[in-house]
């Protein structure tokens, strides 16, 4: 296996910080709301249900981060 120059095989990888996860949750909330609206308008109720689940889980994470942390 080849490694990049200056990189050791067991070096820990840089992880995402809390702000990146919060931004991802906000983006997922917007996408979920968009799926709900598109699903209801086009009468594809599976899309509305999937969007509702995505929006609720994203909103739950945002509330968790704001209240708990």
- Mean pLDDT by runs of 10 across the 69 residues of the chain is 65 79 96 97 96 97 91
- With 0-12 / 13-18 / 19 or more C-beta atoms within 10 angstroms meaning exposed / middle / buried, residue 2 is exposed
Q: What percent of the chain lies above the pLDDT cut of 70? A: 81
pLDDT at 7: 65
pLDDT at 52: 97
The whole-number pLDDT of residue 11 equals 66
Spatial separation of the C-alpha atoms in residues 41 and 34, rounded to whole Å: 11
CB of 36 closer than 8 Å to CB of 48: yes
Does residue 39 contact residue 48 with C-beta atoms inside 8 Å? yes
């Amino acid at each position: 296996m080849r490694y990049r120059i200056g990189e050791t095989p067991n070096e820990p990888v840089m992880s995402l910080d809390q702000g990146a996860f919060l931004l991802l949750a906000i983006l997922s909330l917007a996408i979920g709301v968009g799926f709900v609206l598109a699903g209801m308008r086009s009468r594809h109720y599976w899309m509305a249900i999937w969007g509702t689940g995505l929006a609720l889980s994203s909103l739950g994470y945002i509330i968790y981060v704001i209240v708990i942390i």
